[in-house]
Amino acid sequence: MTSLAAIDPATGTTFAETPVTPVEEVVEVVRRARAAQPGWAARPVAERARVLRRFQGLLFERRQEVAELISRENGKPVAEALLTELAVTLDLARYYLRHGPRLLRPRRVRHGNVALWGRRGWVHWEPLGVIGIISPWNYPLMLPFGELLPALLSGNAVILKPSEFTIRTALLGAELLREAGVAPELCPVLVGGGEVGRALVEAGADKIFFTGSGATGRKVAVAAAERFIPVNLELGGSDPCLVLADADLERAVSGAIWARFSNGGQTCVAVKRLIVEQPVYDAFVERLLRQVAELRVGHGREPGTDVGPLIRESQVRELERQLAATVARGARVRAGGRRLPALGPTFFEPTVVTDLPLDAPLWREEVFGPVLPVVAARDVEDAIRIANDSRFGLSASIWTGDRARGERLARRIHAGAVLVNDATTHVGAAETPHGGEKESGLGRSHGEWGLYETCRVRFVGSDRLDLMRKPWWFGYHPASLADRDAFLRFAFAPRWWERLRAIPGALRLLLNRRPV
Q: How far apart are CA 94 and CA 402, in angstroms?
A: 34
**Enclosing H/E stretch for 233:** strand 231-234
Task: Identify whether the C-beta of residue 121 lies closer than 8 Å to the C-beta of residue 461.
Answer: yes
State how beta strands 3-8 and 13-19 pair.
antiparallel
Strand partners, 3: 19
Q: How far apart are CA 403 and CA 59, in angstroms?
A: 38
Q: How far apart are CA 444 and CA 145, in angstroms?
A: 14
Residues forming the active site? 234, 268
**Where would I find the H helices in 181-312?**
194-202, 214-225, 249-261, 278-293
How many CA atoms within 13 Å lie on the side-chain side of 136? 19
Task: Identify whether the C-beta of residue 69 lies closer than 8 Å to the C-beta of residue 168.
Answer: yes
DSSP-assigned letter for residue 85: I
Estimate the crossing angle of helix 142-153 against helix 45-61, to 10 degrees: 150
Torsion of CA 143, 318, 80, 7, to 10 degrees: 80
How long a stretch of residues is the chain? 516
- Which residues does 159 contact at the CB level (< 8 Å), separation at least 6? 29, 30, 33, 130, 131, 132, 133, 187, 188, 190, 200, 205
